[in-house]
Amino acid sequence: MISRRDFLQVSMAASAMVGASGFGNWSRLAAQQSLTQDDLLQFDTYGNVSLIHITDIHAQLKPIYFREPEINLGVGEANGHVPHITGADFRKLYGIADGSPSAYALTYNDFTSLAQTYGRVGGMDRVSTVINAIRADRPDALLLDGGDTWHGSYTCHQTQGQDVVNVMNALKPDAMTFHWEFTLGSDRVNEIVEGLPFAALGQNIFDAEWDEPAELFKPYKFFERGGVKIAVIGQAFPYMPIANPRWMFPEYSFGIREENMQAMVDEVRGMGAELVVMLSHNGFDVDKKMAGRVQGLDVILSGHTHDALPEPVLVGETIVVASGSNGKFVSRVDLDVRDGKMMGFRTKLIPIFSDVITPDPVITKLIDEQRAPYINELTEVIGKSDSLLYRRGNFNGTWDDLICEALIQERDADISMSPGVRWGPSILPGQDITREDIWNVTSMSYGEAYRTEMTGEFIHVILEDVADNLFNTDPYYQQGGDMVRIGGMGYKIDISKPQGSRISDMTLLKTGEKIDAAKTYQVAGWASVNEGTEGPMIWDVVESYIRKQGTVSVAPHENVKVSGV
């Protein structure tokens, strides 16, 4: 039996590096001097197996800024537990000093000044350096990619994922699972997967017609590392055909398929697996529920909901590891597996501070080669921001407020809607906005910006429907996105209520009038899951708006009133 007291040997990379200190007082140089690559990578190799987890990169090959959420509410059993703890409460829980590198990496407060102090995060050339260092300690470490890798940037869109595939292949992963990859369309996904030099896994990727496991994607793969028989079982995003356009990959069906997961665990145990790892794109709350219901999982490497946790969460004897997004973190998970049993673990969530970790020149060159054909388009400055632009959070972010305003202005609408996705880097006040920056928060294969008429009643139905995907108390009914963003309209939401009675007081902001259920409104939005949606591409709409504005300012929005927390 593993008890937390006996075996929990976690360490948060940055927390011990810099003692308590006033934030914002250091010069950039001073901060860099106190933060070294050796500190970030320091790890006493443990046990006999090492896993390296990276997930939800969203095609961010270069360093970026990424602000973690301020509002991340949990409902039901998740209420008050990580990852539904943010800001000061999060720092208190993990003993993180205000203004420290960990505070910058893991919480939202004072983001602008801390970003100016500590610099950008991520970059696959820095990630490569970290992976190489772990492999130097443990040459047979497994590198596992949790998916949402071939989506999310200008170059990824233009090359249909090839730029990221080329860079990731150079990092030599051992296995991967999937979500947004399927929005490249099934023909393209199949083409890439057929040529992948590593395992493409998903026990829940089924043939839609026959409701049988899809041939191209295997449920699991065995590895022998450190004398241990390891089975890695893939779990793709369960709600792909619902959250994303089904018509783009009609041959495939997904779902949670808990009973099949149990069958796969039993099967690999029967074949002699001593360690069972689930490489998951379920989202954290779904993974926690699954950990408590499927017997025999040792480690869940959790992706999809973009949570970064400095310690794994224990559910029974299963550890659930969450490794953030956008290339901002890499998790190292060292395990002691003996006599067919996981006896202990030591983990480290390594923040990729781009100015501290030396880039791997081989990967830098490879990334730059992918970007070279598009470098003029990527780097063209469209405008400038006076405000911090970010997306993460349950209800709104300033990037989405800007996108919603662009839709209203450019498409002459009363109300606008922007999808509650969790990807998209941040922009600091005073920073230029390039075309690449706009694509980083809008790029997708179904980016048409529609304009249509909706009744007040229909708008209410949409909000109720999306709210239930986020606030249903049963994690298996959650889809892992945030609330749809609304421009031009305010509303109240009581997250403790059931579907149909959460949303009230919908108000048209330009007149202050209540939304009339029977009245028709002009609504502009993007990322419709329906085939045949017409309109200009969202990145063109946003570019046109920013160009006209020159410098954009986005005041904090307070159009959503939340209760029932």
Instruction: Return residues touching another protein (CB under 8 A).
Output: 179, 208, 211, 237-244, 246, 253-256, 259, 283, 304-306, 417, 419-423, 450, 452-454, 457-458, 461-462, 464-466, 468-469, 474, 476-477, 479-484, 498-500, 523, 525, 527-530, 532-533
Q: Which of 343, 345, 308 is nearest to 325 (CA)?
A: 308
Q: How far is the CB of 421 from another protein (least distance, A)?
A: 5
- What is the smallest separation between the CB atom of 126 and another protein, expressed in angstroms? 24
Give least dist CB 320 to another protein, A.
Answer: 18
Residue 8 neighbours by CB distance under 10 Å: 16
Alpha helix stretches (DSSP H) within 35-158 = 37-41, 87-94, 101-106, 111-118, 124-137, 154-158
Task: Tell me whether residue 69 or residue 119 sits nearer to another protein (CB atom).
Answer: 69
User: For residues 109 and 244, which CB has a smaller minimum distance to another protein in the complex?
Assistant: 244
Q: Which two tokens stand for residue 299?
A: 């480690």
Residue 46 or 249 with smaller CB distance to another protein: 249
Cβ nearer to another protein, comparing 243 with 378: 243
Decide: 417 and 523 in contact? Cβ < 8 Å.
Answer: yes
Which of 162/452 has CB closer to another protein?
452
- Distance between CA atoms of residues 163 and 170, nearest Å: 11
Strand partners, 416: 487, 524
The least CB distance from residue 138 to another protein, in Å, is 32
CB nearer to another protein: pick between 406 and 454:
454
CA-to-CA distance for 534 and 526, rounded, in angstroms? 10
Nearest-approach distance from CB 258 to another protein, in angstroms:
9
Helix (H) or strand (E) holding 465: helix 456-471
Shortest separation between residue 371's beta carbon and another protein, angstroms: 26
- Nearest approach in angstroms of CB 256 to another protein is 6
* Residue spans of beta strands (DSSP E) within 212-257: 212-213, 220-225, 228-235, 252-253
Q: Where are the alpha helices (DSSP H) in 195-277?
A: 240-243, 258-270
> Measured from the CB of residue 374, what is the shortest distance to another protein in angstroms?
26
Query: Three-class SS string for 48-82?
Result: CEEEEEECCCCCCCCCEECCCCCCCCCCHHHCCCC
Count other C-beta atoms under 10 Å from residue 469's C-beta: 20
How many C-beta neighbours within 10 Å does residue 334 have? 23
Contacts of residue 241, defined as CB under 8 A and 6 or more positions apart, other chains included, come to 249, 252, 253, 254
- Looking at beta carbons only, is 283 or 351 nearer to another protein? 283
Torsion from C-alpha of 275, 206, 149, 243, nearest 10 degrees: -120
Q: Which two tokens stand for residue 429?
A: 């006040």
- Identify which of residues 179 and 435 has a Cβ nearer to another protein in the complex: 179
Report in angstroms how near the CB of residue 290 gets to another protein at its nearest: 12
> What is the length of the chain?
565
Measured from the CB atom, is 208 or 315 closer to another protein?
208
Handedness of CA 15, 19, 25, 27 (dihedral sign): negative
Kindly state the smallest distance separating residue 480's Cβ from another protein, in Å. 5
Q: Measured from the CB of residue 492, what is the shortest distance to another protein in angstroms?
A: 19
The Cα 110–Cα 115 span in angstroms is 8
Query: Contact 435/380 with Cβ under 8 angstroms?
Result: yes
Distance of closest approach, residue 200 Cβ to another protein, in angstroms: 20
Closer residue to another protein, CB minimum distance, 99 or 480: 480
Eight-class DSSP state of 281: -
| Shortest CB 331 distance to another protein, Å | 19
CB of 313 within 8 A of CB of 292?
no
Q: Is the CB of 75 or the CB of 546 nearer to another protein?
A: 75
Q: What's the closest the beta carbon of residue 243 comes to another protein, in angstroms?
A: 2
Name which of 63 and 481 has its Cβ closer to another protein: 481
Beta strands 228-235; 275-280: pairing state = parallel
| Residue 20 CB neighbour total at 10 angstroms | 8
Q: Which is nearer to another protein, 113 or 472 (CB)?
A: 472
- CA–CA separation, 121 and 114 (whole Å): 12
Q: Which is nearer to another protein, 224 or 516 (CB)?
A: 516
Q: How far apart are CA 470 and CA 483, in angstroms?
A: 7
